[in-house]
Amino acid sequence: MKWTFLLLGSLVWAAAPPVVTDLQPRGAKKGRPFTLTLVGRELSDVLRIHSTMPATFTPLSAEIPAGMMATPGRYASFLVEPKSDLATGVFPIRIETAGGISNIQLFSIGEFPELQEEETKPNSNDSIEAAQSLPASAVTVTGTLRGAERDFYRIPGKAGERRVIEVEGRRIGSAIDPVVRVFDQSGRQLAKSEDAPLLGLDARVDLKLPKDGFYYIEVHDARFSTQGANFYRLKSGSYDYPADLFPLGGKRGEIVEVSLGASTQRVDLTKVEPGRKLAYVSVPNAAALPLPFDVGEFPEVREPVADALKLPVTINGRIAKPGETDRYELNVTPGGKLMLEIKAREMGTSKLMAVVDVTDMAGKRLARAGDEPLPDNLYAVGASKTAGDPYLFLEVPKDVNKIQVSIEDLALRGGQHFAYRLIARPAAEEFTLSVNTPLVNVPAGGSVFVPVTIDRKGYMGPVRVRVKNAPEGLIFEGGRIPGQPPNTIQGDRGFVRNGVLMLSAKPGFRLDSTELEVEAVGQLADGREITATGRGPGMSVAVNGATLQGSVDRQRPVNASWLGHSLPAGGTDALPVQLEVLLEKTVRKDVGDEFYFRWRWKGEGAELPASVSSDMVSAQDTRAIEMARDPKDPKTGTFTVTTTRLTVAGDYDFYIAGRVKWNGQDVDVYSRPILVTVKEAPANAAPASDAR
């Protein structure tokens, strides 16, 4: 992905990293200059705009929106002059100041003239009677939804006229789960859309107007929820869009013929950048946003497939009707290891909730995935209750040289939009790595933590996470993920998969903005190393709503993972205080260990807390007790961490954090990690003590 980096100002030290909470406007018509105002905090003295949008950004005096106070650092405005190759799509906007790098907001470029929802007063377009008038010509309207609000728009129409009405929400970084409905002037509903095919959670209707007159468009959130990112973009016009997508991807380096419904397109994958996993496809001159297209590495085939296939291979298929099951035969190596992966629903362009079943040629089941209960992981309570696309790590029996793989939908559905990619390949023990933060700003002389997760695919040993391209002056520590205890494995997915990588800047070092390459390393029994490169979310936009069933699909944070980032990082000012943790003593008991810690603050200028929080990363069944600040020295205090027999013996990263008050703001301060070793407790061990 090509990024544009534009130097915009001189260096002026700031106290805190910038935060962008809104863009005004949220989109613009292709080919025209426009003024873009960023809204947020600490936006003064912008040094650079980071964006993939081919355009120049010229700083302007901040345009204060009507009714808003001119708070210092609240706004930053730019004249944006797009280049000729700017295409319809969604582009990330990030800024850099002396305080560090900001989060990303997404900006849409479209084909139609732009309007704003008219809400000069509350509820001004919240009923058919008060609907905002739109022109008969094609238009894009940016609006917002506040909780149970419904927005109404009125358009004139002619009998027999085709009208496409589409709402962009999740695809452009909003937490709104949009529903669109169309009524005639008598109030009769003509069309409704929620979760339209190929659009994920967004909505689109395509209808022919029955008679001359006015028509009414209603937009609301599916759950009438109150969201922080509550914007949407409504498109109204007569335009073409992809009505189908098959296959869902193709092989890197090839030109792939793709069906988009009424038309086909040739997708050129010969120029996809190394490491990029997605391309994009649409109909010519489309007003609709392009669709993601998977970029694979192996030979590709399409159903129907008559003969047994050799590995590796990617099979492109579709469950074409309800209750259908697709079956494929694969030639395999007896005693070998095999990985089967499905790409479908998680791509956003398929509705398939795949179930994969593997048998030998006599019909004996070897493995199955996609319909098994999710593990009850007590140590990851916030995990999603909705499984992603399934995968299987299979050790082939020594007397089997051919297997049958079956694909079906969990709810026995089917149809045009139930396509999939089945990737079958020989596999060793392996894992994937996810970076669970969209960015970090490392304080000069201070530390930040980076949460990471591995998904075990056959490899159950310990893993260490590191930074491949750490500049001189940036220290990475921790990142230990213990091996998976055999007695807690359920299928291929182990519980012990979370880690924390700690990044610290040496005294006097300030990190320049960069993209850190994070990778995880494991070691096989024969001593060979295996690695996985980490990918993080491009953004993290919270989605509010009822959570009685956990974080299901429509309540997952909006993450824009298609941006393909590892870990964007910047440097910020030194904090006034640093936090240190010391392990003073370990006491071994027959029921577990007791670790006695001391925390210590260094520096002046901040209001210190009475306690700290602690984490022994990935350790199960631990507890922090007896936390107390030293009455003689408020800069220090002690606490104890206990383990039990459920705590697996091994090496763990341990760090603490404290929230201080500085310049009227709450600031989290982290210690550098230390190593803590939990030993196996003998069945009848006598209490013993050893200082460390």
Length of the chain: 692
Q: Collect all residues with Cβ–Cβ distance below 8 Å to 91 and sequence separation of at least 6.
A: 51, 52, 53, 106, 107, 108, 109
Hey, is 172 helix, strand or coil?
helix
* Model pLDDT, residue 689: 37
Dihedral angle at the C-alpha atoms of 454, 681, 692, 507, nearest 10 degrees? 10
Do residues 189 and 216 lie in contact, with contact meaning Cβ atoms separated by under 8 Å? Answer: no
CA distance 9 to 143: 32
Domains of the chain: 4-110 (2.60.40.10), 114-237 (2.60.120.380), 249-296 (no CATH), 300-427 (2.60.120.380), 432-541+559-572 (2.60.40.10), 577-691 (2.60.40)
Note the pLDDT tens digit of each residue in 569-606: 999 999 999 999 999 999 988 888 999 999 999 999 99
Dihedral angle at the C-alpha atoms of 195, 197, 203, 209, nearest 10 degrees? -130
CA distance 615 to 233: 42
Please name which of 55, 1, 60, 52 lies closest in space to residue 31, comparing C-alpha atoms.
55
- In this structure, the number of other CB atoms found within 10 A of the CB of residue 138 comes to 18
Q: pTM here? A: 0.89
- Cis peptide leading into 25, omega within 30 of 0? yes
Per DSSP, the residues of 50-80 read: EESS-EEEEEE---PPTT----TTSEEEEEE
Please name which of 250, 219, 253, 247 lies closest in space to residue 233, comparing C-alpha atoms.
219
Do residues 409 and 496 lie in contact, with contact meaning Cβ atoms separated by under 8 Å? Answer: no
CA angle 16, 22, 26 (to 5 degrees): 145
Consecutive sets of 10 residues in the chain, 692 residues long: mean pLDDT of each? 44 66 95 94 91 95 63 89 93 95 97 89 81 97 94 97 97 96 96 95 97 97 93 97 96 96 93 90 91 96 95 98 97 95 94 96 94 50 56 93 97 97 93 95 94 91 95 96 66 65 94 96 93 94 68 78 94 94 93 94 94 93 94 95 90 95 90 92 47 33
DSSP letter assigned to residue 44:
S
Do residues 90 and 108 lie in contact, with contact meaning Cβ atoms separated by under 8 Å? Answer: yes
* Model pLDDT, residue 665: 85
* Model pLDDT, residue 550: 44
CA distance 505 to 672: 10
CA 344 vs. chain centroid, Å, equals: 17
Note the pLDDT tens digit of each residue in 211-268: 999 999 999 999 999 999 999 999 999 999 999 999 999 999 999 999 999 899 999 9
Copy the structure tokens of residue 254: 């090839």
* Model pLDDT, residue 692: 32
CA angle 198, 260, 424 (to 5 degrees): 75
Do residues 583 and 676 lie in contact, with contact meaning Cβ atoms separated by under 8 Å? Answer: yes
Copy the structure tokens of residue 378: 């007590």
* Model pLDDT, residue 64: 65
Q: Match 């029994």 to its residue by tokens.
A: 525
Note the pLDDT tens digit of each residue in 101-122: 999 999 999 999 999 998 766 6
Q: In b/e form, how buried is each residue of 237-272, taking b as 16+ CB within 10 angstroms?
A: bebbbbbbbbbbbbbbeeebebbbbeeebebebeeb
**Nearest 5°: phi and psi at 460?**
-115, 10
CA distances from 657 to 354, 470, 481, 608, 660 (A): 42, 23, 20, 12, 10
Hey, is 346 helix, strand or coil?
helix
